[in-house]
Amino acid sequence: MKMTFQKLVIGASMAIGVSAIATVPAQAGTLSSATLGGTATSDYSVYDVQGSSTKLVQQPSANDVQKVLDGDAGNPTGNVELRASSEQSGFDFTKNTTLTGQIGDQSITLSSLTATDWFSTGSVLDTSYGASNFANTWFNQFYDAAGLGASLIPRSQAFNAFLSINGFQRSSDPNISYVNQNDTTGEIKIGLAGHYNLKDYYAPLLGNLGNLLKNGFQASEVVKVTYNNKTDFLYSFFATASGLTNSVGLGADGNSHSGNYEVSIKGVPPAAVPEPSVIIGLLGVAGVFATQRKFKKASI
């Protein structure tokens, strides 16, 4: 009877230990080991937060890059702008800037876009409206979000006007504000800082066409994401207010970073890691087994 009771205790202890391991959530969190690269490695900007404003960081360190990526949709903590010179004259649209890091157990790379990403139709680049490429797919959605259909402006005319102001390269420099993963489902969410009201940005650039843009329309920049051997172009036409504006320091415009656009991909759930308390519990079970062996040897 005594031996049966000991077996029951050991069995229950094992069950509790195994159950604890099964219910311990995996630890993933935010992007770690962030590094910058690409063919234009140094073409990036880091914006930290000062009060309710984002502020350009002068000569940012690796710690500055990591720090601003640790927020979420409810609390953006700044952002890293990839290919920051996209609005300057003489911009080389063949190069990119990347942000690579670890999320859970996997590597992930976020990149700015190049002309090839936008206009490739196989072996050639085609910048015309109606071509079978990403530029046309994305712009048709942009046209609808901007409300230009109500103005009866032909899509082809709007496309050419957008192309003439370098609109595609202006949409190629994503501001990454966070990269987070759901510990259970593996879903990866990426925050893109942008304008809450994009008409404020494009209306002065597009002249008469700009006046026809829908007030308050929203569109994020595009980020190229490579994860688990798959590459996606991610973007959104819906923003939440970030509670921030770029209003302090060099280059502040008072409007940028006011919107948070969240995009997501399916991720690989990270492997569960037992908590220290669980490991201690299992060591206790192992101790019971060891003690039982000693009792058996002593009774022989």
Please state, for a pLDDT cut of 70, what percent of the chain lies above it.
81
Is the pLDDT higher at 280 or at 214?
A: 214
pLDDT, position 295: 47
Tokens of 145: 């979000």
In this structure, the answer to whether residues 52 and 144 fall within a common structural domain is yes
Question: Is the pLDDT confidence value at 35 over 50?
Answer: yes
- Angle at CA of residue 241, ends 102 and 234, nearest 5°: 40
In this structure, the answer to whether residues 87 and 17 fall within a common structural domain is no
In this structure, the answer to whether residues 6 and 155 fall within a common structural domain is no
In this structure, the answer to whether residues 255 and 283 fall within a common structural domain is no
Structure confidence by residue, pLDDT tens digits, 186-233? 999 999 999 999 999 999 999 999 999 999 999 999 999 999 999 999
At 280, the pLDDT band (50, 70, 90 cuts) reads low
Question: Is the pLDDT confidence value at 94 over 80?
Answer: yes
Pick from 193-207, 249-263, 268-282: least confident: 268-282
In this structure, the answer to whether residues 157 and 289 fall within a common structural domain is no
The separation between CA 180 and the C-alpha centre of its own chain, rounded to angstroms, equals 7
The total domain count for the chain is 2
pLDDT, position 276: 56
Distance separating alpha carbons of residues 112 and 107, to the nearest angstrom: 17
Q: Phi, psi at residue 153, to the nearest 5°?
A: -75, 125
Tokens of 235: 């973007």
Closest CA relative to residue 94, chosen from 160, 43, 36? 43
Range of the domain at 293: 2-23+275-299
Question: Is the pLDDT confidence value at 288 over 50?
Answer: no
251 within domain boundaries: yes
